[in-house]
């Protein structure tokens, strides 16, 4: 028992290090001018490190907590469920259930894992409200067996190789994502160059950059119109209108008036990104459709 406890702690440290690294990397590659969005699976409370045996012995004190629970895989129960206990070699009868909706492959039998997620007492109705869109795939027998027992609703399951086997794969960019991205990448450099041109009171350079912005916003507007998304279409046409007003004002050498459009033009980015842009764990973006 002593031996297995020691190695469990070592493994937990390793797995946690991998987890923290993954989070650090995932904050890179933000869009410009955007506050970093919280990672999708950031727990609302500090994580409580705990061994599966402690949970099994004293579940009540952990109910509602977000835990990093270490233990050995006892049995794979379904595509998205397995049980964990403390002893690698024998069933202790003190298992803790783990439900991992995004489990990509069965956990290695008897392998040590670190499971991260909220701990509750197993109740199918409770699970349904906490894990929207997830269907419990445990047998009726297992559901009865674990009813009222501790369960971790896992957002991550890290194995001894440091791999999170409960991580949703990142979907490739769709044709739509790629088409929109082509316009998006033009915007930040044009915005930066526009500000410089305005500060330097250069009519030609301001016109050049405002035209790039206007053209890109026109394409973006067309894109969303074709999707029947009125709100996004409006944000794109707002952007176009601000670029237009810059063009009109610089034509009259009125740089002060032109400068007043810079902030509202930038605000259209944040509005649309907040609702229709989704950031993947690898720092790339997709169009967000489901609300
Ligand atoms: C009407 C909606 C909308 C507006 C307005 C908008 N964006 Fe986007 N933007 C998106 C969506 C959706 C994505 C994710 C899909 C993609 O990359 O095209 C995105 C992605 C991006 C990306 C990431 C491109 C990449 O490298 O993959 C950048 C940079 C960006 N936008 C900058 C801007 C800036 C700057 C503005 C304002 C000047 C802006 N966007 C205005 C919807 C919008």
Report the distance separating Cα 192 and Cα 188, nearest Å.
Answer: 6
Q: Is 285 in the pocket of ligand 1 (CB under 6 A)?
A: yes
The minimum-distance atom of ligand 1 relative to the CA of 213 is 38
194, 218, 273, best to mutate for ligand 1 pocket (most atoms within 8 Å of CB): 273
What pLDDT does 45 receive?
83
* Range in 83-97, 99-113, 192-206 the model is least confident about: 83-97
Is the CB–ligand 1 distance for residue 31 below 6 Å? yes
Residue 183 pLDDT: 98
Buried b (16+ CB within 10 A) or exposed e, 123-146: beeebeeebeeeebebeeebbeeb
> Cα torsion at 131, 103, 89, 162 (round to 10°)?
-110
Does 3 score more than 80 pLDDT? Answer: no
Q: Is the CB of 187 under 6 A from ligand 1?
A: yes
What does residue 118 show for φ and ψ, rounded to 5 degrees? -80, 140
Cβ of 269 below 6 Å from ligand 1: yes
Report yes or no: 107 and 91 within 8 Å, Cβ to Cβ.
no
């Amino acid at each position: 028992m002593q031996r297995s406890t020691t190695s469990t702690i070592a493994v937990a440290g390793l797995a946690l290090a991998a987890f923290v690294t993954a989070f650090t990397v995932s904050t890179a590659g933000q869009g410009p001018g955007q506050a970093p969005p919280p990672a999708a699976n950031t727990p609302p409370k500090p994580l409580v490190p705990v061994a599966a045996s402690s949970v099994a012995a004293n579940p009540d004190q952990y109910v509602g907590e977000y835990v990093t629970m270490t233990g050995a895989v006892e049995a794979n129960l379904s595509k998205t469920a397995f049980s964990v206990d403390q002893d690698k070699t024998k069933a202790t009868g003190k298992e803790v259930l783990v439900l991992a909706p995004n489990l990509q492959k069965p956990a290695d039998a008897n392998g040590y894992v670190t499971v991260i997620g909220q701990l509750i007492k197993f109740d199918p109705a409770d699970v349904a409200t906490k894990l929207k869109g997830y269907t419990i795939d445990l047998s009726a027998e297992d559901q009865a067996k674990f009813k009222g027992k501790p369960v971790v609703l896992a957002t991550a399951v890290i194995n001894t190789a440091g791999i999170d086997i409960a991580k949703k794969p990142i979907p490739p960019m769709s044709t739509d994502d790629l088409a929109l991205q082509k316009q998006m990448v033009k915007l930040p450099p044009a915005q930066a160059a526009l500000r410089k041109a305005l500060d330097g009171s250069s009519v030609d350079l301001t016109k050049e950059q405002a035209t790039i912005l206007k053209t890109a916003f026109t394409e973006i507007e067309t894109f969303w119109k074709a999707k029947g998304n009125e709100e996004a279409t409006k944000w794109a046409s707002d952007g176009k209108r601000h670029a237009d007003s810059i063009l009109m004002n610089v034509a009259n050498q009125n740089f002060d008036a032109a400068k007043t459009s810079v902030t509202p033009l930038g605000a259209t980015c944040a509005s649309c990104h907040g609702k229709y842009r989704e950031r993947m764990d690898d720092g790339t973006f997709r169009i967000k459709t489901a609300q």
